[in-house]
């Protein structure tokens, strides 16, 4: 049985260093580079964000790295963006993309049933508990290929969607708090974007 409170506590408090990024996979690579970019506070770099977008969603598919990356993208939204408004807006666009992908999957694959009905790991962090190690392979390409052949089980696949959904819905409070401060920011563009995102969450 899923322990929602325990998983929400994990989402709120997990540190980037506590995640084994090499055990997470995106659409083209394992998660080492994204993990390093998060550790180095590079989430307001447009090139980094474009890479993240390509890795965490591809052709309406989410990957094991998706829910973990979304945790830190949402946390980045809580911070002042300074002169990085374009990058800040790009994070909101990624957020919207993931929410729309979840909705598409729910409508098309689950026939509008809830992700809650899927068989998933009891804890979110079990997603990156795999039996493979990058150092045992000649290159990352072979490592990724074997992962998707042997380790991408139904329960892991289900867990990606369930926990991504949990992360983005938990982030709704963050969006609402940001929106309440937009009077001070005097930024209607961001306020309007957040309002549109809240409508589909």
Question: Tens of pLDDT along 81-109?
Answer: 989 999 999 999 999 999 999 999 988 87
- Among 103, 98, 126, 129, smallest CA distance to 115 is for 103
Instruction: Give how far Cα 28 sits from Cα of 24, 57, 92, 163, 184, Å.
Output: 11, 10, 22, 21, 40
CA 152-36-20 angle, to 5 degrees, is 40
- Among 144, 170, 195, 185, smallest CA distance to 73 is for 170
CB 72 within 8 A of CB 91: no
Question: Residue 32's pLDDT is what?
Answer: 97
177: in domain = no
pLDDT tens-place string over residues 139-197:
999 999 999 999 999 999 999 999 999 999 999 999 999 988 754 555 788 888 999 99
d(CA 129, CA 143): 15
Which structural domain, as residue segments, surrounds residue 138? 4-171
190: in domain = no
The band of 112, judged by pLDDT with boundaries at 50, 70 and 90, is low
CA atoms 106, 111, 116, 122: torsion sign? negative
120: in domain = yes
How many separate domains does the chain show? Answer: 1
Number of helical (H) and strand (E) elements in the chain, helices listed first = 10, 2
148: in domain = yes
pTM: 0.95
Residue 127 neighbours by CB distance under 10 Å: 25
179: in domain = no
Spell out the residues 6+ positions from residue 162 whose beta carbon is closer than 8 angstroms to its own: 2, 115, 116, 118, 120
pLDDT, average across residues 38-58: 98
199: in domain = no
68: in domain = yes
d(CA 91, CA 87): 6
191: in domain = no
Match 């911070």 to its residue by tokens: 79
């Amino acid at each position: 049985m899923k322990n929602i409170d325990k998983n929400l506590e994990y989402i709120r408090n997990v540190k980037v260093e506590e995640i084994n990024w090499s055990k997470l996979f995106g659409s083209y690579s394992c998660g080492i580079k994204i993990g390093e970019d998060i550790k180095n506070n590079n989430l307001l770099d447009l090139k980094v964000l474009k890479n993240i977008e390509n890795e965490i969603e591809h052709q309406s598919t989410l990957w094991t790295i998706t829910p973990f990356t979304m945790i830190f993208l949402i946390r980045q939204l809580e911070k002042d963006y300074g002169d990085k408004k374009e990058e800040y807006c790009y994070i909101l666009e990624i957020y919207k993309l993931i929410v729309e992908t979840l909705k598409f999957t729910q409508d098309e694959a689950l026939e509008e049933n809830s992700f809650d009905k899927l068989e998933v790991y009891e804890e979110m962090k079990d997603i990156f508990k795999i039996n493979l190690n990058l150092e045992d392979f000649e290159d990352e390409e072979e490592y990724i290929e074997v992962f998707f052949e042997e380790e991408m089980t139904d329960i892991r696949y289900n867990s990606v969607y369930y926990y991504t959904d949990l992360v983005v819905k938990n982030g709704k409070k963050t969006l609402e708090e940001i929106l309440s401060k937009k009077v001070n920011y005097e930024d209607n563009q961001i306020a309007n974007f957040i309002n549109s995102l809240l409508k589909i969450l």
